[in-house]
Structure 1
């Protein structure tokens, strides 16, 4: 289990400008990024035991984070 935050700007450093541009021009993309950050923060709090969650709930959050990141990447790669 990793407790390193999965920040989009660190995971996709070459796409920083594209992330900013899409957030400004595409409301759906902006919502995806905001939801990703919310879920990512929840996973990080669970991993660092700031907020104790059941392992099932923590896994659900990780899977949701992965789906959101995939959706974000698809828009960035388009």
Structure 2
């Protein structure tokens, strides 16, 4: 079974230009973006390795990832409304 990565640029290609703009001009967005991708990398590594991990732990990481993704998308949409 192949585990899919959840890159923001892959998941939201229609917001590609806004994401680039925010990464260059918004330190808060960049910090959240980097945290999201670190967390995504950690989840992906856990899912692709056969290391034993508590279900609650991986689920908590996925919830954090989803929360960050929602927050990032909110910033993206708010920025697009202003432009």
TM-score > 0.5, shorter chain as reference: yes
**What residue ranges of structure 2 are gaps of 5+ in the alignment?**
79-83
**1:64 aligned residue:** 64
Q: RMSD over aligned Cα, in angstroms?
A: 1.4
Q: Secondary structure at the match of 1:53?
A: coil
Structure having the higher Rg = 2
Taking structure 2 as the reference length, the TM-score comes to 0.86
Conserved 8 A contact 1:45-1:51: no
Task: State the shift of 1:49 in Å.
Answer: 1.6
The 4+ residue runs of structure 1 with deviation greater than 2 A are 50-53
Number of residue pairs aligned between Structure 1 and Structure 2: 77
Cα distance in 1 between the residues matched to 2:7 and 2:13: 10
